[in-house]
Amino acid sequence: MKAAILDKGRIQVGEFPDPTPETGQVLVRTHRCALCASDAHFLTSGHTIVERSQKNDGPYARIDLSKPIVMGHEYVGEILDYGPGSRKPLPKGTLVTAIPGVRLGNSFGIVGYYPECPGGYGEYMLLDEDLLLEVPRDIDLDLAALIEPLAVGIEHARAGELREGDIPLVLGCGAIGLGVIAALKLKGVAPIVACDLDPGRRSLALEMGAHIVVDPTEASPYHPHVDLRGRVPNVVYECVGKAGIMTRIIDEIGFGGRIVMGGYCLDPEEIYVPTAQNKRLQVNFAGGEMPEDMEAARDAIVSGKVDLRPWLGEGIGLSGVEDALKRMADPSEPIRRVVDPTRE
């Protein structure tokens, strides 16, 4: 199959072996796949991710970086076939997405990171039949590829354990932060405060449902805002993913505050524990999406309750993957570019 293949630190278009489904696996023809910043991190820091995961037998511990990898884990595709002995929960031809995990015998692999589990930057994928989520045929395929990143935002928002009277503050308005904002809006949370250095991202935050946006170079998001009538945010969603942010939050947040760590930071984070103890802070670490989050994201997109079209940039073919990933850190770039693997 044609694919954008990561090999020896570079992504190039080439031929990759067609995957063959085993028991419990589904062969899917990829229609669209969105680019994720996690892939951009893996492109430059894959060895670090794998080495740190090996210390605690994490999900990336068994990745063999000496082998070519087809990345891409935000996808939508069509069922072509099942492996022998599979349950076959959905008929061939069904449009699906899925949590990017798949059984590999007695172990488990991550779609788009394990060499044995080629992802959406290729024409075909192997998915797990127990994790499939049916997608309506009439959905915009580019939007369908955004079900997974929105599901991450929904899971992260839930990790805040919001109660009546809480005021959430979302730091960083990339895909994770915007997904959190959209998820909070779905739950009827108000007011929502968002903070980002980039004016374009602050504008997107308003489109997703934020009520107040703050430029941190002009004002502290932790201080009373006129629209909050003297109150301050007490639940902070860290969606930046840079070392030092957590320390800043602990210093600035008020007594009894809650912190959700959702940003993807590969560098060690140092904190001064007594400050957090004295303030009686609670820290929750957000993880990946659950099946119910995928369902909620699909339903929100299909119903139009969440409009993710402002996230989308111009679509690309396989040859545009490497350059688009390298440019993802630029805030002037769109939140998501979507790959059509039939285009080179």
131 with 158, same domain? Answer: no
Total-model pTM: 0.95
Q: Which one of 54-58, 222-226, 317-321 scores highest in mean pLDDT?
A: 317-321
Provide the pLDDT for residue 87: 96
Query: Is the Cα torsion angle 34, 39, 41, 44 positive or negative in sign?
Result: negative
% of the chain surpassing 90 pLDDT: 84
Inside any domain, residue 258 = yes
Measured distance CA(120)–CA(102) in Å, rounded: 14
pLDDT band, residue 244 (cuts 50/70/90): very high
| Of 167, 183, 135, 158, nearest in space to 257 by CA | 167
25 with 56, same domain? Answer: yes
| Residue 2 tokens, joined | 């044609």
pLDDT averaged over every residue in the chain: 95
40 with 91, same domain? Answer: yes
108-146 pLDDT per residue, tens: 899 999 999 999 999 999 999 999 999 999 999 999 999
pLDDT band, residue 45 (cuts 50/70/90): confident
264 with 319, same domain? Answer: no
Measured distance CA(236)–CA(298) in Å, rounded: 26
CB neighbour list of residue 322: distance below 8 Å, 6 or more residues apart: 4, 10, 11, 12, 43
Provide the pLDDT for residue 28: 98
Q: What is the CATH number of the domain that holds 185?
A: 3.40.50.720
142 with 165, same domain? Answer: no
Inside any domain, residue 227 = yes
Contact call for residues 270 and 247 (beta carbons, < 8 A): yes
186 with 80, same domain? Answer: no
Residue 57 has pLDDT above 90, yes or no: no
Inside any domain, residue 300 = no
pLDDT band, residue 185 (cuts 50/70/90): very high
CB neighbour list of residue 25: distance below 8 Å, 6 or more residues apart: 82, 83, 86, 102, 103, 126, 127, 128, 129
Inside any domain, residue 302 = no
196-209 pLDDT per residue, tens: 999 999 999 999 99
Residue 19 has pLDDT above 90, yes or no: yes
Helix axes 147-159, 175-186, angle to 10 degrees: 70
Overall number of domains in the chain: 2
Provide the pLDDT for residue 48: 87
Provide the pLDDT for residue 36: 95
Q: What is the CA radius of gyration of the chain?
A: 20
Provide the pLDDT for residue 226: 77
| Of 68, 99, 62, 103, nearest in space to 82 by CA | 103
Instruction: State which residues form the domain around 229.
Output: 150-285
Provide the pLDDT for residue 43: 87
Q: Give the mean model confidence (pLDDT) for residues 198-221.
A: 97
Provide the pLDDT for residue 269: 86
Inside any domain, residue 290 = no
Measured distance CA(196)–CA(87) in Å, rounded: 46
Q: Give the mean model confidence (pLDDT) for residues 230-248.
A: 94
168 with 274, same domain? Answer: yes
Inside any domain, residue 218 = yes
203 with 92, same domain? Answer: no
- 47: region left, alpha or beta (phi > 0 left; psi from -120 to 50 alpha): alpha
120 with 251, same domain? Answer: no
Inside any domain, residue 316 = yes
91 with 192, same domain? Answer: no
Inside any domain, residue 12 = yes
Q: What is the CATH number of the domain that holds 11?
A: 3.90.180.10
136 with 169, same domain? Answer: no
Measured distance CA(231)–CA(236) in Å, rounded: 14
138 with 198, same domain? Answer: no
